[in-house]
Structure 1
Amino acid sequence: MVIPAILSAYCALIVAVSLLGGMAPLALVLSHTRLQVYLSFAAGTMLGAAFFHMLPEAVEMGGPDTVKWAAVGLLALFLLERFFAYHQHEPAPIAHDHHHGHDHHHRHDVEGEHVAPALSWGTAAFGLAVHSLVGGVALASAVVADANGEGRVGGMAWGVFLATVMHKPADAMTIVSLMLRAGAPAKLAHLVNLGFALMIPLGAALFFVGIGRLAPDTAEPMTAAALAFSAGTFLCISLSDVLPELHFHQHDRLKLSGALVAGFLLMVAASSLEAG
């Protein structure tokens, strides 16, 4: 059957890029600004995937009320971030190579404010693992929705896959960087990263097996709800990447805005595959 084969291929590629992302802290010296350009581009792809791929398909499959699930997804991931604070991407100890005469340590410790405690790798790994399970559901629901609507895997599944591929290396880099910073052996860090990478296929498999056990008249609205929920999580992830940096890169505003728009436009272009 073509759907499991395509879904497996997508998952295998995502696992591969996640493992490569985990190698970045050992192989690359990535400045804070360059990382933010990359994250802005990845955030743009996730915004575009949510608005041009996932939400329109969810509404078409399940009706306007399905959009409510997007709010649930956004709130669920926000609360996960609130209590586990896993969504912080820094490849190395805070040693930014800014040459613009400004202090950018992300402490935000103005008088009366509380500085967030250091992020532990265990907390980050748990939060990112749950987030990746949801990402697997997003990918599987997109593939199933495409197949239900077009009889094939089309532009929407491709868009969700591309947005996931773009963002996954940053999450892997977070886990490995935090483990190395805490003094964990490199082998253990990469083993944990492998387990994290496998959360995407696990989430996809759980959705695919679960939806296959439902009657068609139940499976379709459930797929629509999962797609809308996943769109909400994509919105939360993308905004959590770009909003904290909004007031700290005044000198790079064109560069970062261009990267965000480029990622967004890539998803707009990919959406043309659905109409074709």
Structure 2
Amino acid sequence: MDLTLLYILISVFIVSLISFVGVFTMVLRKKTMEKILLFLVSFAAGSLFGGAFLHLLPEAVDTGGSGTIGFTILGILIFFVLEKFLFWQHCHKPGCHEHTFAYMSLVGDGIHNFIDGVVIAASFLVSNQTGMVSTVAIVLHEIPQELSDFAIMIHGGFTTTKALVLNFISALTAFLGALCAFYVLSSFLVYLPLLLAFAAGGFIYIGGSDLVPELHKETEPKRSFLVFVSLVMGVALILLFVE
């Protein structure tokens, strides 16, 4: 087996295992989980910004020129459209049941994981270092995301076992995305910088649109400072991979 493909599959498998972190919502008290979640979200936002601005964008520009920046903007716009019309179609209409929303969330999460797989594969095709950075950023973002998804499914009437199994199956779509990207992009390496720039746009959108607004909900000065520290630590973690 190609060593790069092996690294990709191992990374995707690690990301898929994050789907099981939802079980912690059943162990920890709600208030404790909410406190932990805020810092996880902050740390994840920092890692996404670090991954985008310190690795993906510089790599894309270095190998593909400044014209690749346009694909970063495209990534932001595409992720906006996906989130607006697919990932988070919140159920506010009469007769729209939470059980249905739970299934909708699974479908959206499956597509999201497919894209994660594509990003991981594309990153490893550039270099192992870029691949590791993308994997770390995705893992840190997936932890609070999977906790939220699990809570949605339990609230929608799923049993703990069913929620865990379905969430893991949804996570496995990352393998499909990774394999598709690996075999397609291996023959069209010229397009890798464009995909990296696009992925950077996705990271920036998720961090800025989904995660940072959650951090502003904390108003207590001491906790707000700790949230900021967590954000900086997320960026610092990515800096460890910078040569």
Q: TM-score, normalised by structure 1?
A: 0.77
Tell me how far 1:85 sits from its aligned partner: 5.2
Output the amino acid matched with 1:176.
Answer: F
**In the alignment, is the contact (CA less than 8 A) between 2:87 and 2:105 conserved in 1?**
yes
Alignment of 1:1-276 (within 5 A): 1-19=2-20, 21-29=21-29, 30-84=32-86, 86=88, 120-146=101-127, 153=128, 155-212=129-186, 214=187, 219-251=188-220, 252-272=223-243
Change (3 A) 1:26 1:39: same
Paired residues of 2:56 and 2:130 also in contact (CA < 8 A): yes
- The CA deviation string for residues 197-217 of structure 1, in whole angstroms up to 9 with x for no partner, is 1122221111001123x3xxx
1:95 maps to none
Question: Higher helix proportion, which one?
Answer: 2
For residues 268 and 58 of structure 1, what CA distance do their matches in structure 2 show? 17
Deviations 1:76-116 (A, max 9, x none): 1112222235399xxxxxxxxxxxxxxxxxxxxxxxxxxxx
Aligned residue pairs: how many? 231
SS of the aligned residue for 1:248 comes to: coil
Instruction: Out of 221-230 and 235-244, give the one that drifted further.
Output: 235-244
- Structure 2 distance, partners of 1:133, 1:193, is 13
1:164 aligned partner, one-letter code: I
8 A Cα contact 2:122 2:185, kept in partner: no
CA deviations on 1:15-69 (whole Å, 9 max, x unpaired) are 22232x2322223234323211111001100110011111111111211111111
Structure 2: unaligned runs, 5 residues or longer: 91-95
For 1:164, what is the secondary structure of its paired residue? helix
In structure 2, what is the equivalent of residue 102 of structure 1? none
Separation of aligned partners in 1, 2:55 and 2:178 = 18
Q: Distance in 1 between matches of 2:87 and 2:17?
A: 25
Q: Which runs of 4+ in 1 moved over 6 A?
A: none
The alpha-carbon distance between structure 1 residues 12 and 264, as it changes in their structure 2 partners (threshold 3 A), is same
Paired with 2:87 and 2:15, the residues of 1 have a C-alpha distance of 23
- State the 1:246 CA deviation: 4.6
- Higher Rg: 1
**Could you tell me how far apart the structure 2 residues matched to 1:166 and 1:135 are?**
12
- C-alpha distance in 2 between matches for 1:176 and 1:34: 16
Which letter maps to 1:172?
Answer: E
